[in-house]
Chain A
Amino acid sequence: MATVRLSFSPAPVHVRTARLVGVAVARRAGVREDLLDEVRLAIGEACTRAVALHRQYGLAEPVLVEMSDSGAYSVRVVDRAPIEASIGLAALDADQLANESLNEDDLTTGVGFALLAGFVEDLQVRPVDEGVGTEVRMVWPVSR
């Protein structure tokens, strides 16, 4: 059961709010101070990805963020975009990043996944259990 649940219209301006809430709940849950920057970045990347997908598919439905502090600190970011569009953990190497033919959107997506994978040890991207969409699930240890 979620401790804090936040849903927001898929607009870039709200991603910052999600980051701030996510870090506040993480701090209260007992996530180590030196991990909070990474928590902030990861929640931001997951929400940015969800907003981008909703805008790409013209979906007005809100993005859902659920934060739970039972045992560990876990965050679920749920989008409602078609599943085939959502999964693609493509890590780009330096040559690909610098390639002139790579457009900015694809580069941003690849870099976003690299940041998620690099900063979150316990990371899952999977279809939602019901309906259309994917969830990014991230877990951090707590020290209590």
Chain B
Amino acid sequence: MELSLATRTVGEHTVLEVGGEVDVYTAPRLRERLLELIDAGARHVVVDLGRVDFLDSTGLGVLVGALKRLRTADGTFALVCDKEPLLKIFRITALDQVFPLYPTVEAATGAGK
């Protein structure tokens, strides 16, 4: 399934809903969208991975890049993920200790300024 990207605003948070496959081919589009959002002034970004069915190291690299960019700009970056296969990827790579991970968008936008 191709990558899908949709943006909405929840309070002061910009929520990017990602669907499909995030891999070496599609990750550049995700990077581009995140950079657009940050360049346009988004400072509290939540990426909802709820409809992602494949995520590889390239996609993870893009997400870490956005996290670091927002930290530098005094912003916040959080992920929404409740799928065990994806959570396992975060645990194996130790990225579960790097990203704030939430089970729902509500939790991410309510708790993660």
Q: Which residues of A contact B (CB under 8 A)?
A: 12-13, 15-16, 19, 37, 40-41, 44-45, 48, 51-52, 92-94, 97-98, 100, 104-105, 107-109, 111-112, 114-115, 118-119
A75 to chain B, nearest CB (A): 16
Using Cβ atoms and an 8 Å threshold, which residues of chain B touch A108?
Answer: 57-58, 60-61
Interface of B is mostly: helix
Q: A52 CA to B65 CA in the complex, in Å?
A: 18
A-side contacts of B64, CB under 8 Å: 97-98, 104, 107
Q: CA separation between A13 and B28, bound complex, in Å?
A: 12
Q: Report the separation of the CA atoms of residues A37 and B88 in the bound assembly, to the nearest whole angstrom.
A: 11
In the bound complex, do residue B98 and residue A94 qualify as a contact, i.e. CB atoms below 8 Å apart?
yes
Among A13, A98, A114, point to the contact of B93 (Cβ < 8 A): A114
- Identify the closest chain B residue to A99 (Cβ): B68
